[in-house]
């Protein structure tokens, strides 16, 4: 431990000295030039077997808001980088109840600089920024879910998205975003993909996937198309168990594979393989796609011709660990060998890193795997590092963050995306647009005054009232109607909230029911007859409450879905239905602006709501001419 502390102190002292001009990372077009190719080949030759194997592993760094260099977790990261010669790290943050405990851009950049400084071979720093850096970091540009881009229907918005996320990611030292999601979401009850997908049309998803990759590459960010061979037609969350795609090979060819073909054509740097079964592609029920050579090598590499990095989804997910029930180091070794032999190049997030790493080294030494096979994958990894300039510099310029992160232009663009996506699916002519009331001077210092007889009532249905869901919505509504009555409910308090809501409805002229059914990967919930499953359905307690609201004031209630658009199928009696597709605050702002006629409704459903509305549905409604 003393050695570790001294080592960390030396690293910090080294970082305190100025970095010469030109020694910072530069975000340029993703490209392996001649110097980069030579660096990759020379570096490979210098590495020992142990160092080569370590390049194939990515570990998760759960970063709190601030990291002290004597923090045991920080010392553990240093030890892992040195002991296992890690090739890549995934930057994330801890969960805090219903929310993530987000960090800050400066803290993230400083941490990455420190970790790069101690690594012999530059680290490939990755992140899961599906909606931009705001998923993990405060003070960054907030984009909506991918399905909002499908509703907007403009590839140029997806390209701009890729470009801006790349700029902010590279500013903090992240070179690889595990995006885009190339899944075609064709299953309405899919609990894990859903709004993370661009939509259900293979052609549109392909166009948006390609556009995102172009934008990201242009500003120096590596991409990873996921989740091969397609996770869109599943009803099980692969974080919790094995999900099955029970389509025919022809259906997979026609529906699921086109976006991956498009991603490969666009030059995606990596393809992430899913922990799902696809019997028509590999009838061996003991295998998932991750450890199936028929799917990884036969389909992805040989038939689709993909030459880049093939990476696993997280190896600690239930969809993979359930295939290796023996557990422990033996399971880790077994899983590492199977996925390597299937054709994967990089292993993400093993729960037993030591068992997997040592098992793979041991397998090479015993001749179970050739070192040439290891070299093949490691060279790809090193070339990826060179393609983003890590062979020239590993440090980022902390002083540059303030001119790149969350610029006014980035904010305006993100809001444009959300504004363009808001979709009016149903409207009965009695309610929309809502009337704005003038604010009377400055409001009270500590929140708005809610009158018992408020004419506008907003009920926010969320999975947990402690979350951020609905907070920006509340502010936006009260900026237009100061005495808006806002009531937050979740399944635990829904029944007890009934009397208060009924009283408020009696006085209200118009009711807004804001529904937050957002896919959360790995969320284990209890449902009738099953435990530990994920679902995108509204819990019974809140469903009963919504039913009572619709019975009392159906023609004067507008339901806004800030998540799954499929919600309408469960409540076909809804007369006014708006889709925002995301709980991002930009989507909350956009929805309110559309409701009050400040912007037009112009989005189109990128998916079919079974029995209710087809893909492409959307009622145009122009913006009102606002009085000056």
Q: Determine whether domain 422-439+449-595 maps to CATH 3.10.50.40.
A: no
Q: Where are the domains of the chain?
A: 38-408, 422-439+449-595
**CA angle, corner 554, sides to 548 and 559, nearest 5?**
90
Strand partners, 566: none
CB 64 within 8 A of CB 94: yes
- Euclidean distance between CA atoms 370 and 68, whole angstroms: 41
Q: Determine whether domain 38-408 maps to CATH 3.40.50.150.
A: no
Active site residue 313: yes
Active site residue 239: yes
Which pLDDT does position 527 carry in this prediction?
52
Which pLDDT does position 450 carry in this prediction?
52
Written as six digits, the tokens of 414 are 């993100």
Written as six digits, the tokens of 205 are 């998803």
Strand partners, 525: 533
Which pLDDT does position 2 carry in this prediction?
38
If 0-12 CB within 10 Å is exposed, 13-18 middle and 19+ buried, where does residue 414 land?
buried
Please tell me if the domain spanning 38-408 has the same topology as the one spanning 422-439+449-595: no
- Euclidean distance between CA atoms 506 and 33, whole angstroms: 69
Which pLDDT does position 572 carry in this prediction?
96
Q: What are the mean pLDDT values of the chain's consecutive 10-residue runs (628 residues total)?
A: 41 42 85 98 98 98 87 93 98 79 94 96 97 95 98 98 98 98 95 94 98 98 98 80 91 98 98 96 94 98 98 94 92 97 97 97 98 98 98 97 97 98 97 82 48 83 94 98 96 93 95 92 57 69 95 96 96 97 98 98 98 96 74
Number of separate helices (H) and strands (E) present in the chain: 21, 20
Please give the backbone phi and psi of residue 27, each rounded to the nearest 5 degrees, phi first: -85, 105
Question: Which tens digit of pLDDT belongs to each residue from 26-49?
Answer: 999 999 999 999 999 999 999 999
Which pLDDT does position 132 carry in this prediction?
97
Catalytic residue among 201, 313, 352, 490: 313
Please tell me whether the peptide bond between 180 and the residue prior to it is cis, using omega within 30 degrees of 0: yes
Catalytic residue among 201, 239, 256, 338: 239
Which pLDDT does position 22 carry in this prediction?
55
Classified as helix, coil or strand, 563 is: coil
Written as six digits, the tokens of 339 are 């996925």
Whole-prediction pTM:
0.93
- Euclidean distance between CA atoms 344 and 357, whole angstroms: 15
């Amino acid at each position: 431990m003393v050695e570790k502390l001294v080592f960390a102190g030396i690293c910090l002292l080294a970082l305190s000295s100025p970095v010469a001009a030109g020694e910072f990372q530069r975000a340029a077009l993703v490209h392996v030039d001649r110097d980069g190719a030579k660096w990759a080949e020379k570096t490979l030759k210098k590495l020992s077997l142990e160092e080569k194997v370590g390049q194939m592993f990515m570990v998760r760094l759960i970063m709190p808001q601030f990291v002290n260099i004597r923090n045991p977790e920080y010392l553990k990261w240093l030890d892992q980088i040195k002991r296992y010669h890690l090739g890549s790290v995934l930057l994330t943050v801890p969960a805090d109840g219903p929310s993530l405990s987000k960090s800050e851009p400066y803290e993230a950049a400083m941490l990455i600089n420190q970790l790069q400084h101690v690594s012999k071979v530059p680290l490939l720093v990755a992140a899961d920024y599906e909606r931009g850096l705001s998923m993990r970091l405060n003070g960054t540009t907030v984009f909506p879910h991918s399905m909002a881009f499908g509703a907007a229907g403009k590839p140029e918005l997806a390209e701009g998205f890729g470009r801006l996320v790349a700029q902010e990611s590279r500013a903090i030292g992240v070179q690889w975003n595990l995006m885009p999601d190339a899944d075609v979401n064709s299953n309405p009850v899919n609990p894990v993909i859903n709004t993370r997908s661009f939509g259900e049309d293979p052609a549109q998803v392909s166009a948006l996937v390609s556009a995102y990759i172009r934008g990201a590459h242009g500003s120096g960010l590596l991409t990873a198309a996921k989740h091969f061979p397609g996770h869109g037609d599943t009803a099980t969350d692969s974080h919790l168990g094995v999900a099955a795609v029970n389509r025919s090979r022809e259906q997979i060819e026609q529906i699921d594979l086109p976006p991956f073909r498009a991603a490969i054509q666009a030059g995606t740097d990596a393809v992430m393989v899913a922990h799902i079964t696809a019997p028509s592609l590999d009838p061996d029920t003991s295998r998932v796609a991750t450890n199936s050579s028929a799917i990884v090598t036969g389909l992805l590499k040989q038939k689709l011709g993909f030459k880049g990095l093939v990476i696993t989804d997280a190896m600690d997910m239930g969809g993979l660990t359930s295939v290796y029930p023996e557990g422990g180091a033996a399971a880790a070794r077994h899983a590492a060998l199977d996925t390597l032999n299937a054709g994967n190049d990089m292993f993400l997030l093993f729960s037993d890193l030591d068992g997997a790493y040592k098992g793979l080294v041991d397998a090479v030494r015993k001749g179970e795997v050739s070192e040439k096979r290891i070299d093949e994958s490691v060279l790809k990894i090193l070339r990826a590092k060179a393609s983003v300039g890590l062979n020239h510099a590993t440090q980022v310029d902390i002083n540059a963050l303030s001119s790149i992160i969350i610029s006014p232009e980035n904010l305006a663009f993100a809001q444009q995306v959300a504004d363009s996506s808001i979709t009016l699916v149903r409207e009965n002519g009695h309610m929309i647009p809502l009337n704005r009331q003038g604010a009377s001077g400055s409001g009270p210092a500590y929140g708005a005054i809610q009158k018992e007889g408020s004419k506008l009532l907003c009920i926010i249905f969320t999975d947990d009232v402690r979350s951020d869901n609905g907070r920006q919505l509340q502010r936006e509504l009260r900026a237009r109607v100061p005495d808006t009555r806002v009531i937050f409910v979740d399944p635990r308090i829904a029944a007890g909230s009934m009397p208060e809501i009924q009283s408020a409805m009696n006085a209200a002229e118009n009711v807004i029911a804001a529904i937050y059914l957002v896919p959360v990967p790995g969320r284990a919930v209890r449902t009738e007859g099953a435990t530990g499953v994920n679902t995108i359905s509204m819990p019974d307690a809140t469903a009963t409450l919504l039913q009572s609201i619709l019975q009392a004031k159906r023609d004067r209630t507008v339901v806004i879905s800030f998540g799954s658009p499929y919600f309408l199928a469960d409540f076909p009696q809804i007369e006014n239905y708006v889709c925002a597709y995301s709980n991002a605050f930009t989507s909350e702002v956009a929805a309110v602006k559309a409701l009050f006629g400040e912007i037009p409704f112009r989005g189109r459903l990128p998916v079919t709501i079974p029995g209710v509305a087809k893909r492409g549905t959307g009622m145009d409604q122009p913006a009102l001419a606002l009085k000056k």
